[in-house]
Structure 1
Amino acid sequence: MTTINEHNQLIKTARVTGIWYLLLAITGVFGFMVFNSQVYSPDANETLNNLIENQSTARIRLLFEFGIIISQALTAIWFYRLFKGINDWAALATAIWGTVNSSIILISAISMGVAIKLSSSNLIADNLIIIETLQAIIANAWLIGGLFFGLWLLPFGYIITSSKRMPVWLGRILILGGFGYIISTFLSYGGISADWVGYFQIPASIGEFWMIGYLLIFGIRPAENS
């Protein structure tokens, strides 16, 4: 049976988790959706010019990547703290898949750091080939990371639906979004590049922002038998 003090502490943990999750959303939006296109282009020549002429923007993009890595890892660990008393196995899976995804994005950050370093070199012809390779590594790190991001959403979606400590439909949407990320990754690597592939990720975005808002505003419901 959960006491009032224990539940209040759990609400505090939920809100800290929400803060880390919000930071993940912010760094992801600014890093990947705002600054990424200002630096990295499908054309390696254009990317190299951006790295040389707008190195400060490239460094800001890299710093946001650091923010994504750190906030993803911390969100995963705090989800474990929040859910371990409800379903230890699923909470552990959440922590593992979240930190694995964070580690994969670390590969992207390393590639960005190398690209910035190379842009200061005078070996332009050789660097173009390397820049193109680094761009491919960055893109594929994010694509493959989608597998583990999808896996990450599944266990805490399951915890929500089975425990009813948060809205059941929130959990269902997160599970749908998790499968959506996994399916879209398989489709992308299966050679399907149509715009509709991205639609599979929409439930995840809805669920994530709903989750962030619920954590920050309400925290978590008390157990039914408390």
Structure 2
Amino acid sequence: MDLIKNEDYKTQNKTARIAGLFYLSIVLSGIFTLMYVPSKLIVWDDASITFNNIVTSEMLFRIGILSGLICYVCYIMLPIVLYKLLKPVHENSAVLMVVFAIISIPISYLNIQNKVDVLSLIGNAEYLKMYTAEQLEAQVMLLLESYDNGILIVEVFWGLWLFPFGYLVFKSGFLPKVLGILLMVGCFSYLIAVCGGLLFPNYEIPSFVMLPASIGEIGTCLWLLIMGIKKGKSTHMSNN
């Protein structure tokens, strides 16, 4: 009996670390594509500078797109692995977690097309010669704005999946409860950011609003990857 329990623990711990690895990949690629690349290339109040930045640093822009594609592939795998790990805690919540996460994927991939279209506009195709430089610059900015609008929409699901995920972490008994609380609060952080972005576009949401989500996700990522799960804790299937 002890041997079986020990083997179960090894399997669960391996699953936790795989989830942590996928999570880390999402965090790193997400930071690169959503924060680092835009900070280097995009100047929102100057279309000309932004256009020239992308032209002169086209490879960085392309790597940013690739990083986004990798991020969303990992975002497909993460909830599936977490489902395997957390299903014994509460199956219905685990299913809801996966559904909310997976729904965001097609939206995210379609949204990346805006960035791919930017590459077409900065190219040397013959048909582009009919546009003036100002027109091309304006179209590039419009596509970048469309991409940002798409991120605002997909953040709804980036937030929603955190609530069942956080609940499962909190109830698991083999992951820190504080991380579960932060993840659940993080759900509302995203939703506040979305509502604020839609209702008050000229008002910048304070950075502390997203702190619970950031700390909860990065903390859970590192815990899964480094610590795995607590040994000796058992869970029981529940559908209530």
TM-score of the superposed pair, with normalisation by structure 1: 0.90
Equivalent residue pairs, number: 225
Match of 2:106 among 84, 103, 106: 103
Give the 4+ runs in structure 1 shifted more than 6 A: none
Residue equivalent to 2:37: 35
Q: Name the residue aligned to 1:130.
A: 139
Select 1:150's aligned residue among 156, 159, 166.
159
2:24 paired residue number:
22
In the alignment, which residue of structure 2 is the partner of 1:3? Answer: 5
Equivalent residues of 1:160, 1:167 under 8 A apart: yes
User: After the TM superposition, which residues 1-226 of structure 1 pair with which residues of structure 2 at under 5 Å, given as runs?
Assistant: 3-42=5-44, 43-120=46-123, 121-122=128-129, 123=131, 124-191=133-200, 193-221=202-230, 222-223=233-234
Find the aligned partners of 1:16 and 1:39 in 2 and give their Cα distance: 33
> By how many angstroms is 1:192 displaced?
5.3
C-alpha deviation, 1:130, in angstroms: 2.4
Q: How much has 1:147 moved relative to structure 2?
A: 1.1
Unaligned stretches of 5+ residues in structure 2: none
In the TM superposition, what is the alpha-carbon distance from 1:224 to its structure 2 partner? 5.8
* Structure 2 residue matching 1:3: 3-state secondary structure: helix
Q: Is the 8 A contact 1:20 1:74 kept in 2?
A: yes
Local SS of the residue matching 1:223: coil
Once the two structures are TM-superposed, the CA of residue 101 in structure 1 deviates from its matched residue by: 2.4
Distance in 2 (CA, whole Å) between partners of 1:23 and 1:79 is 15
Q: Which moved more, 1:9-18 or 1:84-93?
A: 84-93
> Residue type of the partner of 1:36?
P
Deviation at 1:108, TM superposition (A): 2.9
Runs of 5+ unmatched residues, structure 1: none
| Letter matched to residue 85 of structure 2 | L
How far does residue 107 in structure 1 lie from its aligned partner after superposition?
A: 2.7
Contact 1:184 / 1:198 at 8 angstroms: preserved in 2? Answer: no
In 2, distance between residues paired with 1:224 and 1:95? 19
Question: What whole-Å deviation, never above 9, does each CA across 1:27-73 have from its counterpart, x for those lacking one?
Answer: 11222221122233313322222222221121111111112211222
2:193 touches 2:205 (CA, 8 Å); kept in 1? Answer: no
Identity %: 27
In structure 1, C-alpha distance between the alignment counterparts of 2:145 and 2:188, rounded to whole Å: 25
TM-score normalised per structure 2: 0.86
| Preserved CA contact (<8 Å) 2:196 2:203 | no
